[in-house]
Structure 1
Amino acid sequence: MTAGPFTPRLAALARRESPPPAPPVERCELCAEPLADVHRHLLDTGSGDPLCACAACAVLFSDNAAGGRHYRLVPDERRELTGFRLDGPLWAALGVPVDLAFFSVTGSGEVTARYPSPAGALHASVHAASWRRLTEANPVLAELRPDVEALVVHRARGAAEHWILPVDDCYRLTALLREHWTGFTGGDAVWAHIGRFFEELQGEK
C-alpha cells in the first residue's frame, strides 16, 4: 500500500505555526515611499491634518511656495520659554477655562485655542486684544510660525510649562488627553501622562 501525499513528516510541518506577518511598512502620505522611523510631517492646511512625509517630500515642501499654501512643513524645533510672563488676569482674558491649552495663529492672524474638556478637545477663538497684550509681554510670540507651531501652556496642578512646539507635538498631547482623560477633571492618570510628556521635552533639549 503506497503512502498518501501527507506523510507524518509533512503533517508535522503542516501543523507548525506560520511565522507572524511582517508589520506594515509606514509610507509617505504624498509619494508612498517607505518612511524612516523618525520622519517629518506636513500640515494639510485645508483639513488641518498632519501628514507623514519622507525626506524628499520634506525638502520639497520646506519652501512654502512648493505647496501652494496647501501643505506646510512642520518644523522640528522645540523652544522652552523661560521667564514667560502670564499672570492670572491675562490668562482669564484669553478665555480658556482650564489650565492646559495650546494656541496657534493662522496665516490671516486669527488665534485659536485648543484645550481639553470632558466632551473632548474644544476650540475657541482668542480675543485679539488679549493676544496682543500677551505678545507685548512676551515678544518671542511674534516669531510663532502660522499654522505649524503653537504656544503650549500648562499651568495645572502647580505646573509652569510654556513652550513653542510643532503642531505634531500638540496632536500627540491631544491624543494623550483623549486616551486617558476621565471624569470632569481628567483623573490622576492623565495628569501623570501629561507630566511625562513635558519631562520628555526637557530630556530632548
Structure 2
Amino acid sequence: MTALSTPRLAALASTRSPLAPPEPAAERCELCAEPLHDAHRHLLDLEKGDLLCACGACAVLFNDLSAGGRHYRLVPDDRRELTGFHLDGPLWAGLGIPVDLAFFSVAAEGPVTARYPSPAGALHAAVHADSWRRLADANPVLAGLRPDVEALVVHRARGASEHWILPIDDCYRLTALLREHWTGFAGGDAVWDRIGTFFEQLRGAR
C-alpha cells in the first residue's frame, strides 16, 4: 500500500462520508467538560442527590472532604465485603424493611435512609435511630461508613447472606437493575438471577 502523497489528499481521504452515521459524542466531565475515559469517578451533588461524572483532575480536587463544601462530595471507589457481619432476625425486624434486599446510607446531617425494591418501584424510608444504633453496636465497622457517599447493602433474599459497604454509585446501579428487570409482586426469577450476578461481579472485581 502506498502512502498518500500530499496533505490535501490525506485530508480528503480522512473525511467521513456525510451518509455515515455520526459517532457517539464522547462522555465529558460534568464540571469542567473534559473528555472522560471509560473508567472515571463520580461526585454526589448533595443538594439534588444526583451523581455527576468527574474527570481525574476534578476527582483529585474534590478528594478533600472540605473541598466541595455542602454541594459536592467525591464518591469512593473501594468496595468491602463484610464477613462475620451480625444481623439476626430481631435486628433486621427493628430496621422495619419489609423485603430482604436494601441499602442504608447515613446523611452527614439527618437520619439513616433505607432504599429497597417494591412492585411500585424503589422506596425510601427513614430508619429509627435506636434501631440503627443497635445494629452499629453489634457491628463496629459501621462507624466508618462515609456519610452520603457509601451505603451498607444487605441481601438476604432467597437464602443469600450478602453484606457489603459499597459506593453510592454502585447502589444506584443496583437500583437501576431492579427497576429494569423487576416483574410482578416478588420480582421474578430473572431479576434475582441478575442480582446474584451483580454480587458475583463485585466479588470478582476486588
Structure 1 residue aligned with 2:177 = 176
**Percent of residue pairs identical:** 79
Give the structure-1-normalised TM-score.
0.91
Question: Matched residues in 2 for 1:18 and 1:70: separation?
Answer: 44
Residue type of the partner of 1:101?
A: A
Residue 19 of structure 1: how far off its partner (Å): 2.3
Question: Matched residues in 2 for 1:153 and 1:109: separation?
Answer: 21
1:146-157 matched pairs, under 5 angstroms: 146-157=147-158
Structure 1 residue aligned with 2:7 = none
Structure 2 residue aligned with 1:13 = none
Question: Matched residues in 1 for 2:139 and 2:119: separation?
Answer: 31
Question: Matched residues in 2 for 1:188 and 1:18: separation?
Answer: 44
Give the structure-2-normalised TM-score.
0.90
1:12-91 matched pairs, under 5 angstroms: 18-91=19-92
Aligned residues: 190
Question: Matched residues in 2 for 1:35 and 1:17: separation?
Answer: 26
Residue type of the partner of 2:158?
A: R
Residue type of the partner of 1:81?
A: L
Secondary structure in 1 aligned to 2:66? Answer: helix
- 1:112 matched to 2:113: yes
Question: Matched residues in 2 for 1:159 and 1:66: separation?
Answer: 39
After superposing on structure 2, the runs of 4+ consecutive aligned residues of structure 1 that deviate more than 3 Å are none
Residue 110 of structure 1: how far off its partner (Å): 1.5
**Structure 1 pair 81–109 and aligned structure 2 pair: CA distance change class (3 A):** farther
Question: Matched residues in 2 for 1:69 and 1:62: separation?
Answer: 14
Secondary structure in 2 aligned to 1:67? Answer: coil
Q: Deviations over 1:50-85 (max 9, x none)?
A: 110000100011112221121000000100000000
Q: Deviations over 1:116-147 (max 9, x none)?
A: 00000000000111100000100000000000
Give the number of the structure whose alpha-carbon radius of gyration is greater. Answer: 1
Structure 1 residue aligned with 2:9 = none
Residue 18 of structure 1: how far off its partner (Å): 2.6
Residue 23 of structure 1: how far off its partner (Å): 1.3
Structure 1: runs of 5 or more not aligned: 1-15
**For the aligned residues, what is the CA RMSD?**
1.1
Question: Matched residues in 2 for 1:91 and 1:108: separation?
Answer: 24
Structure 2: runs of 5 or more not aligned: 1-16
Residue type of the partner of 2:120?
A: A
Question: Matched residues in 2 for 1:84 and 1:45: separation?
Answer: 29
Residue type of the partner of 2:115?
A: R
Question: Matched residues in 1 for 2:69 and 2:126: separation?
Answer: 26
Question: Matched residues in 2 for 1:110 and 1:17: separation?
Answer: 55
Question: Matched residues in 1 for 2:147 and 2:104: separation?
Answer: 10
